[in-house]
């Protein structure tokens, strides 16, 4: 429930501030971080947690906004890549810092942003996760 609430908050904030959805932003981040600024559409689907049909629609939305384009694999014409455009990279650079700040704000003030949740329980869960990832 907490993850869904955070995702909903981030999605609304991204749409209001940058006219882009959360899944679109996450897809662009994956493309921007990829070695050649491209990923096979199937790999992108796995990274953002979508099925083939949904990622096809996602890439179409990114293409319509000139944030990404499709490219065919030269070795296997059936392989389709999603490639971030310069406009997509510019958007990621513009959004990244404020996105990270927004995530920290949402996670740091659970009671203020999500009064329906038990903030102490969420805090313990986040601390437990922090202990798992910290050496």
The string of pLDDT tens digits covering residues 90-133 is: 999 999 999 999 999 988 888 788 888 787 887 787 788 778 87
The domains of the chain, with CATH numbers, are 2-130 (1.10.10.10)
> Widest CA span of the chain, in angstroms?
54
- Taking alpha carbons only, the member of 35, 58, 61, 37 closest to residue 48 is 58
The string of pLDDT tens digits covering residues 43-88 is: 999 999 999 999 999 999 999 999 999 998 777 666 899 999 999 9
**Backbone phi, psi, residue 116, to 5°:** -75, -15
Write down the pTM of the prediction: 0.85
| Pair 28, 88: CB distance under 8 Å | yes
> Residue 128: which residues within 8 A CB-CB, separation 6 or more?
none
The secondary structure element, H or E, covering residue 83 is strand 80-84
């Amino acid at each position: 429930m907490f993850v869904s609430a955070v995702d909903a908050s981030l999605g609304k904030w991204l749409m209001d501030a940058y006219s882009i959805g959360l899944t679109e932003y996450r897809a662009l981040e994956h493309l921007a971080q990829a070695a050649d600024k491209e990923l096979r559409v199937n790999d992108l689907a796995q990274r953002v947690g979508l099925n083939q049909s949904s990622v096809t629609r996602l890439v179409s939305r990114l293409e319509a906004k000139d944030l990404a384009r499709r490219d065919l694999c030269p070795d296997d014409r059936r392989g389709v890549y999603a490639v971030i455009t310069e406009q997509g990279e510019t958007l990621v650079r513009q959004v990244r810092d404020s996105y990270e700040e927004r995530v920290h704000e949402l996670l740091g003030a659970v009671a203020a942003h999500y009064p329906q949740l038990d903030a102490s329980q969420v805090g313990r869960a986040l601390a437990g996760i922090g202990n798992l990832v910290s050496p």
